[in-house]
Amino acid sequence: MQQEQVIIVGAGPCGLAAAIALKKIGINPLIIEKASIVHSIYQYPTYMQFFSTAEKLEIGGVPFTTPQDKPTRIEALHYYRKVAQKHELRVHQYEEVTSIEPKDGCFILETQPMNRAPRVYKAERVVVATGYFDNPNMLGIPGEELPKVSHFFREAHPYTGTKTVIIGGNNSAIDAALELARVGAEVTVVYRGEKYSDNIKPWVLPTFKSLVEQGVIHMMFRSQVISIQPDSVTIRMPEDQLEMDNDFVLALTGFRPDRKFLEKTGVEMDAESDRPVYNPETMETNVRGLYVAGVVASGRNANEIFIESGRFHGDLIAEHIRAIRQP
């Protein structure tokens, strides 16, 4: 059994930032990540550009330089790799933590590495810094499991010349619709709202509206897909429903943090907000020695915590541990 002072679960930007903060107080934590470093960013659309400026994404005192006003996904991947290397962070990639059990004042973690035998670790403290991109908000409708349905959008090329329905009305759906229109897809956006979302980037909305007015993109408000068939979709509208020919469905309805993982460790959830119970000054949960960092600390609205705010959670955690360890 491998013993550690602190184990961080998740190698996203907030997990990396927490590791750097802990190294500053003399602790060299082990980060365990079920995929690659900053896997959530890797899953973003290939040509995505961040809303935030590079400065607000910086961690570990390493400057994030970019020739543009806002960095791209590819630049972010390069940046966070560089940060992890510069600070010589210990990261076990492609190893999934399957359980965390408080025991005798410590924690026993069981993991499943890719293509290897399971491992067991003992840690004095644990920081859970998992993201939410592995947990899409499911529609719960017939046909959602069909191969033509995806909750992720990477790039437009595979949809060239196809009839594609996009479910959702926020930035991810609008951006995907614009990219699909550029490659000649026949795009229909199905959205429950009565009007365009207030969250849509203001510099993008005029372009999108123009394409809708030109008939390049078909926008359906107050509507929802109620079933998906191999070659069609059924859409319910305010006063009717229709079945239209369809090749692909992009269900871009957002994601949510994995609550069950935390609950199994004994972390309580606030019934009103669905947020894990923790001290906002230390990020420690109701389970002593177990901390949360990043988006996993958010409530039902996963967008309430971003990299630009979650990157400071590690500082709070490190300060709390430092204070406890002082004689």
pLDDT value for 272: 79
In three-state secondary structure terms, 319 is helix
pLDDT band at residue 300, thresholds of 50, 70 and 90? Answer: low
CB atoms within 10 A of CB 309: 15
Does residue 67 register a pLDDT over 60? yes
Average pLDDT over residues 56-82: 94
Residues 233, 302 within the same domain:
no
Average pLDDT over residues 105-123: 96
pLDDT value for 17: 97
Of 251, 278, 302, the residue at which a domain comes to its end is: 251
Residues 16, 158 within the same domain:
no
Residues 53, 159 within the same domain:
no
Lowest mean pLDDT among 96-110, 223-237, 259-273: 259-273
Residues 112, 216 within the same domain:
no
Does residue 215 register a pLDDT over 80? yes
89, exposed or middle or buried, with CB in 10 Å at 0-12, 13-18, 19+? buried
Residues 84, 17 within the same domain:
yes
- Percentage with pLDDT > 70 across the chain: 96
Residues 161, 240 within the same domain:
yes
Does residue 327 register a pLDDT over 90? no
Residues β-bridged to residue 224: 236
Residues 230, 271 within the same domain:
no
pLDDT value for 303: 57
Does residue 207 register a pLDDT over 80? yes
pLDDT band at residue 145, thresholds of 50, 70 and 90? Answer: very high
| 143 domain residue, yes or no | no
Residues 172, 274 within the same domain:
no
Q: Given phi > 0 = left and psi -120 to 50 = alpha, else beta, which region is 274?
A: left
Of 206, 221, 251, the residue at which a domain comes to its end is: 251
Residues 122, 7 within the same domain:
yes
Which of 293, 326, 317, 300 minimizes the C-alpha distance to 130? 293
Backbone angles phi, psi at 68, to 5 degrees: -100, 170
Altogether, the residues listed in the chain come to a count of: 327
Average pLDDT over residues 236-252: 96
d(CA 269, CA 278): 9
pLDDT value for 308: 83
Average pLDDT over residues 16-42: 96
Which of 235, 271, 314, 246 minimizes the C-alpha distance to 60? 314
pLDDT value for 309: 85
| 140 domain residue, yes or no | no
Q: What is the CATH number of the domain that holds 228?
A: 3.50.50.60
pLDDT value for 307: 83
**What is the residue-averaged pLDDT of the chain?**
92
Distant-in-sequence, close-in-space partners of 85: CB < 8 Å, separation ≥ 6: none
Type of residue numbered 38? V
Residues 102, 200 within the same domain:
no
| 142 domain residue, yes or no | no
d(CA 317, CA 319): 5
Structurally, how many domains does the chain consist of? Answer: 2
| 44 domain residue, yes or no | yes
For every residue of 131-159, DSSP letters joined together read: -STT-B-----TTTTSTTEES----SGGG
- Residues of the domain holding 116: 2-135+255-325
Residue bearing the bigger pLDDT, 295 or 114: 114
pLDDT band at residue 162, thresholds of 50, 70 and 90? Answer: very high
Does residue 113 register a pLDDT over 90? yes
